[in-house]
Amino acid sequence: MAKIVFWSPDQGRGNTSNAVAIGTMIGQDYDIRTLITQTHFRRSNLESAFMKAKELQFRNLVNTTTSGMDNLERLFKSKRLSVDSICDHTISLETGRLDLLMGTKKAEAHESYPSIAGAIFDEADRYYQAVILDIHSGGKDIVSHQLIKDADIVVVTLSQDTSVIENYVEQKEWPDELQNKTKIILLGQYDKYSKYNVANIKRNYKINDPIYGLPYSSEFRDAFNDKDVLNWFRRARNAGKRHPSYNFFQEVRKISKDLLIQIGVNTEIKRIERGVS
């Protein structure tokens, strides 16, 4: 139904973390079919966020030379790619609701890779209601260009550093495809006590797109490093006001809901009652 692309003009601002937090919240709070994956070559940390909860499945995949995405590329080339084959190559994180597709193990993109990746996610889009893609940052990656072009909405990760915001507003590092896209801006590792808060940034830089701060959370960082984001969300996301990550979860929940509304999901109907999952 909708491809949600997470992109940042800059490295290391929290793009993967933002995709992981929002993907996990949607997968646990909403009864919609969600796929989460990434399109980096060489290094990516998205999958590791979920490893602890799915150790067996990951262990089987770690020693193989291909990944879910690589197998799908092979199927595409032999014209055997289907919605079912996509589902078969994912790891189920939340049954029927959140699937993870492991990104490529290849070192670099070949010339036709962008259009192949585009076709694979188009096919995935026919089954999943939300396809969350953590793509490579900056304006030079050919795969990112294609996926921004295909996106229904682009979530742009910025920070509260004025240089990052100024570069963004001046459209430096912008792939052309970003021009006419629906965008929302997330300030990663957000510090609400900074002078450069959401309201100030919006006003000072005259940004019309919606802006949110996704709070810095020590516990989230620890859970990511412990490869245990899935279980940490299960345990802590509905905790009360005195929980140290209460604010983090509130904001992630708000952003997730607004994002789903933007892509046309009825969040009242699809929301899972607390305690059911």
Ligand X SMILES: Nc1ncnc2c1ncn2[C@@H]1O[C@H](COP(=O)(O)OP(=O)(O)OP(=O)(O)O)[C@@H](O)[C@H]1O
Please identify which residue in 22, 214, 229, 255 interacts with ligand X, judged by CB under 6 A: 214
Put the strands of the sheet holding 3-7 in their side by side order: 90-94, 98-101, 34-38, 130-134, 3-7, 153-158, 183-190, 211-215
Please identify which residue in 90, 217, 245, 256 interacts with ligand X, judged by CB under 6 A: 217
Q: Which is nearer to Mg ion, 16 or 28 (CB)?
A: 16
Per partner kind, with CB cut-offs from 5 to 8 A, the member of ligand X, Mg ion, none near residue 188 is ligand X
Cα separation, 207 vs 83, in Å, equals 38
Query: In one letter, which amino acid is 212?
Result: Y
* Extended beta strands in 39-190, E state: 90-94, 98-101, 130-134, 153-158, 183-190
Q: Which is nearer to Mg ion, 136 or 237 (CB)?
A: 136
Q: Which is nearer to Mg ion, 16 or 217 (CB)?
A: 16
Residues 16-45 binding ligand X (CB under 6 A) are 16-17, 45
Question: Shortest distance, CB of residue 227 to ligand X, whole angstroms?
Answer: 12
Q: Which is nearer to ligand X, 73 or 251 (CB)?
A: 251
CA distances from 133 to 18, 23, 28, 36, 129 (A): 11, 10, 18, 6, 13
Question: Shortest distance, CB of residue 4 to ligand X, whole angstroms?
Answer: 15
Contact predicate 25/237, CB 8 Å: yes
- Running DSSP on this structure, what letter comes out for residue 8? -
- Any contact of residue 246 with ligand X (CB under 6 A)? no
- Any contact of residue 140 with ligand X (CB under 6 A)? no
Residues 5-34 binding Mg ion (CB under 5 A) are 16
